[in-house]
Amino acid sequence: MQSFMIVQMIEYLVKSIVDKPLQVSVVCIDKDAKKIIQVAVAAADLPRVIGAEGKIFRALRGLVSLVGASKGTIEYDLVVDVVA
């Protein structure tokens, strides 16, 4: 349930900053003892999600880690990919 809420939060935030929100895809992948929140965006939107000097990405990653840590012992991480 917690993973679903984190996915929805990240999806909402990413869709609000990109030009092509219909191409945004956010999924949660279980990998070892970690959950990876994978965000896929259009190639043209990648700089918007990364931000200047990676500030937006670091902020999103920080939110994922903070929410994950506050709710349990599972570690969360964020990955951004380009939609082919």
pLDDT (0 to 100) of residue 71: 65
- Give the confidence band of 5 by pLDDT, cuts at 50, 70, 90: confident
How far, in Å, are 15, 30, 32, 61, 79 from residue 50 at the CA level?
13, 23, 26, 11, 11
Residues 6+ apart with CB under 8 A from 7: 26, 27, 28, 37
Instruction: Walk me through the domains of the chain, giving residue ranges and CATH numbers.
Output: 2-82 (3.30.300.20)
Token pair in block for residue 49: 């999600």
Asked if 83 and 25 count as a contact pair (C-beta separation under 8 A), the reply is yes
For 43-83, the pLDDT digits (tens) are 999 999 999 999 999 999 999 888 877 767 678 889 999 98
Name the pTM for this structure: 0.88
What pLDDT is recorded for position 1? 59
21 has a pLDDT exceeding 80 = yes
